[in-house]
């Protein structure tokens, strides 16, 4: 079994981006600028946004964190999105999800300019991804593709099972793995909460992507020998022995599954850091306006 080390690859990509930014600066070109909108005080969202902004700073990018009370109205938030769409400074931005219940997240996402939508959630980017046209690919699936590429994982003709059909992970992942490209060219099964015989389906997977948000759901008995297992899940479980009071657990029962796989991503240190690296790569594409 070999670990797919997302932490290491993420650091490597972030260093490459830092080098590119120095070259851009020396050439008098614009410094890339990522902005993040954070609404409310959800602990996990704060952690994710802070680490995204911190990573950008470290690589020499400009970054802005726009924080709003959870009482902000939908129209006020839409105005903030419009301002960022118009900003000459900001090249790309994200609106950290989830948003408070009184705000229609879809309306907010649809208001983001597709050219600044570095999370790749806007329907224009999703549509272009489906058609294999230039677009921003959603950061988590994009990060997984980068990881598969780095470790030269063979995907053509393989059976890839994706568990979870969310718009931000499962659905795009299933489409990307079925593209006529590398990584891609898999036969894909997209499983979800209504799927019957899930264990038998998972057992057929050469590549298994778990993105359902249920800690340690994927057991050894569900995994084929020598499968490649990608664990997207991140759940905070209370743990008094930890300084911050919790530990992060993936969707895969890592301890028992790892020995059966050819490759597996750890949690933490697998898909999570790759999401940040992918977001930063998208920001570089935004400043270069390469999807225009």
Q: How far is the CB of 17 from ligand NAD (least distance, A)?
A: 18
Question: How many whole angstroms separate alpha carbon 122 and alpha carbon 120?
Answer: 6
Question: How many whole angstroms separate alpha carbon 34 and alpha carbon 228?
Answer: 33
Q: How far is the CB of 194 from ligand NAD (least distance, A)?
A: 7
Q: Which of 14, 96, 158, 253 is catalytic?
A: 96
Q: Which two tokens stand for residue 124?
A: 């224009």
* CB atoms closer than 10 angstroms to residue 202: 23
Q: How far is the CB of 218 from ligand NAD (least distance, A)?
A: 10
272 makes contact with ligand NAD (CB under 6 A): yes
211 makes contact with ligand NAD (CB under 6 A): yes
119 is known as an active-site residue: yes
Q: Which string of x and - marks every residue 90-129 that binds ligand NAD (by CB under 6 A)? A: ----------------------------------------
H or E segment and range at residue 249: strand 246-249
Q: Which of 5, 91, 117, 119 is catalytic?
A: 119
- Percentages helix, strand, coil for the chain, rounded to the nearest 5? 40, 15, 40
Which residue's CB is nearer to ligand NAD, number 58 or number 214?
214
Q: Which of 24, 67, 107, 214 is the binder for ligand NAD (CB under 6 A)?
A: 214
Q: Which of 5, 52, 116, 251 is catalytic?
A: 52
232 makes contact with ligand NAD (CB under 6 A): yes
Candidates 188, 253, 270, 250; CA nearest to 218 is 253
Q: Which two tokens stand for residue 288?
A: 């270069």
235 makes contact with ligand NAD (CB under 6 A): yes
Q: Which of 14, 140, 174, 283 is the binder for ligand NAD (CB under 6 A)?
A: 140
96 is known as an active-site residue: yes
Q: In sequence order, what E strands does 105-176 have?
A: 159-163
One-character DSSP codes across 61-105: -EEEEEEE-TT--HHHHHHHHHHHHH-SS-SEEEEPSPPPTTS-H
Q: Which two tokens stand for residue 220?
A: 């050894």
Residues carrying an active site annotation: 52, 96, 119
- Residue numbers of the site for ligand NAD (CB under 6 A)? 140, 163-166, 168-170, 191-193, 195, 198, 211-214, 232-235, 271-272, 275
């Amino acid at each position: 079994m070999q670990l797919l080390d997302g932490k290491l690859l993420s650091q490597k990509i972030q260093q490459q981006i830092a080098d590119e930014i120095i070259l851009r600066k020396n050439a008098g070109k614009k410094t890339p600028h990522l902005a993040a909108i954070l609404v409310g005080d959800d602990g996990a969202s704060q952690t994710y946004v802070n680490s995204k902004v911190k990573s950008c700073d470290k690589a020499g990018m400009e970054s802005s964190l726009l924080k709003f009370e959870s009482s902000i109205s939908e129209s006020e938030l839409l105005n903030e999105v419009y301002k960022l769409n118009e900003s000459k400074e900001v090249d790309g931005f994200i609106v950290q999800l989830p948003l408070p219940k009184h705000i229609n997240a879809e309306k907010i996402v649809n208001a983001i300019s597709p050219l600044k939508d570095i999370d790749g959630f806007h329907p224009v980017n999703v549509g272009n991804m489906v058609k294999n046209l230039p677009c921003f690919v959603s950061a988590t699936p994009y990060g997984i593709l980068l990881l598969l590429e780095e470790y030269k994982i063979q995907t053509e003709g393989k059976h890839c099972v994706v568990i979870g059909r969310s718009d931000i992970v499962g659905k795009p992942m299933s489409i990307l793995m079925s593209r006529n490209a590398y990584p891609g060219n898999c036969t894909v099964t997209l499983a979800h909460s209504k799927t019957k015989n899930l264990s038998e389906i998972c057992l057929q997977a050469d590549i298994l992507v778990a993105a359902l948000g249920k800690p340690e759901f994927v057991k050894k008995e569900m995994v084929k020998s020598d499968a490649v297992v990608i664990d997207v899940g991140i759940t905070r479980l209370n743990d008094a022995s930890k300084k911050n009071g919790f530990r992060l657990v993936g969707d895969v029962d890592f301890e028992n599954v790892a020995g059966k796989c050819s490759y597996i991503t750890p949690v933490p240190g697998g898909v999570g850091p790759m999401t940040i690296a992918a977001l930063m790569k998208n920001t570089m594409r935004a400043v270069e306006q390469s999807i225009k």
